[in-house]
Amino acid sequence: MMQFRDLQRQYEVLKPSLDVALQNVMSRAAFVMGPEVAALESRLANRVNVAHCVTCASGTDALRIALMIWEIGEGDAVFVPDFTFFATAEAVLSVGATPILVDVEQETFNINADDLREKVKNVQSQGRLNPRAVIAVDLFGLPADYYRIREVTSDYGLFLLEDGAQGFGGAIDGKPSCSFGDISITSFFPAKPLGCYGDGGALFTDNEVWADLARSIIQHGKGTNKYEHLRVGLNSRLDTIQAAVLGVKLDAFDEELHTSNLVAATYSKQLSSYIAIPVLPHGYASSWAQYTVKLNNQLQRDNLKEHLQSAGIPSMVYYPCPLHQQPALASLEMDECCCPVATMLSQTVLSLPIHPYLRPDEIEQIISAIHGFVKC
């Protein structure tokens, strides 16, 4: 059976190195903050081309830690796209701040800079909440429009937090994803472009003071010694075992990304005259966390999903519900028309299998199933 993202096949390929790396951790028994963690952080910072990388226990924690560093809390507004994984808004609520949902662009699925500016203006003129930060998401691996988002954050004195949970490996004009925010984060959840064997995440920043704060927060707000606590923090460290896994996966990452790009190019070439394929703006590179097509309406989308299913091809709807319709956000009292594009996308998108270990015969099978669907 074809897998949506085949982590077993990846393990088979990387097994010799992974098994050695894991054995090393177990025989040395430095399970928390072992040497693999610092080694990974310095490699990640290098790759993303920022001064500091601090790893932590998940992407969600990384978002939350960034907001804690900026002392964002009650009475503060944080602007987030309406079309994203729930964690983007959850982190805002978890520190007591209010997420303000912003619509996305139909072509790129990412936060719409014009709507962002409108919504910041509105919050400012209402005067009830204090606008503090924007969380832009690199949805499905494509970096958000950071040139235009920066104009808004600069004009209004807001912090920019890049949610690169899906973005690691992307770039704009050669500048790597996870380097666009004042703080940027990524996730190492197994199915993300760079995934570990459980949960994990990281923060990236050029600001040394913030990096030091992050290091304190992930270890119970520790000071210079382990039993001096300067603030209330979290217990949010990346396990040594996960750092060891990530070290091996990072070795393979560039080649994997190259292969994912070839898969995406094949899809796009073969599907573009049949279906709305993902858009890569000029100068942008995606990490291809997802390859997401658009159908004309919900019925057609659901029918294609079923058609693929019956051909043994898994596909996923990311995301079936925009944030403004989530029960957990009902207290925000967002009206239905706050984000029409996000609403429309939740009804029409479908993500196809994409990963570096997808075989040519599987790609062929997927393409011909879609051709068959469109023709009938």
Q: If you search the block for the tokens 């701040």, which residue do you land on?
A: 97
Helix (H), strand (E) at residue 186: strand 183-187
Q: Which of 88, 348 has the CB closer to ligand PLP?
A: 88
The yes or no reply on residue 110 touching ligand PLP (CB under 6 A) is: no
Residues in region 247-286 near ligand PLP by CB under 6 A: none
- Find the shortest distance in angstroms from Cβ 204 to ligand PLP: 14
Distance CA 231, CA 273 (A): 57
- Find the shortest distance in angstroms from Cβ 154 to ligand PLP: 24
Residues in region 171-230 near ligand PLP by CB under 6 A: 187, 189, 199, 201
- Give the 3-state secondary structure of residue 341: helix
Q: Which of 218, 369 has the CB closer to ligand PLP?
A: 218
Q: Which of 92, 352 has the CB closer to ligand PLP?
A: 92
| Closest by CA position to 4, among listed 292, 227, 228, 205 | 292
Distance CA 124, CA 52 (A): 33
Residues in region 116-145 near ligand PLP by CB under 6 A: 137
Q: If you search the block for the tokens 């992974």, which residue do you land on?
A: 18
- Find the shortest distance in angstroms from Cβ 132 to ligand PLP: 19
The yes or no reply on residue 83 touching ligand PLP (CB under 6 A) is: no
- Find the shortest distance in angstroms from Cβ 318 to ligand PLP: 9
Residues contacting ligand PLP: total by CB under 6 A: 15
- Six-digit token pair at 128? 């009830």
166 in Cβ contact with 87 (< 8 Å): no
Distance CA 268, CA 61 (A): 35
Pairing of strands 52-56, 76-81: unpaired
**CA geometry: angle at 282 spanning 168 and 357, to 5°?**
40
- Find the shortest distance in angstroms from Cβ 311 to ligand PLP: 27
- Among 41, 103, 162, 163, which residue sits at the site for ligand PLP (rule: CB under 6 A)? 163
Pairing of strands 130-137, 183-187: unpaired
Distance CA 169, CA 164 (A): 9
- Among 34, 59, 99, 143, which residue sits at the site for ligand PLP (rule: CB under 6 A)? 59
- Find the shortest distance in angstroms from Cβ 188 to ligand PLP: 7
Q: Which of 54, 370 has the CB closer to ligand PLP?
A: 54
Binding site for ligand PLP (CB under 6 A): 58-60, 84-85, 87-88, 137, 163, 165-166, 187, 189, 199, 201
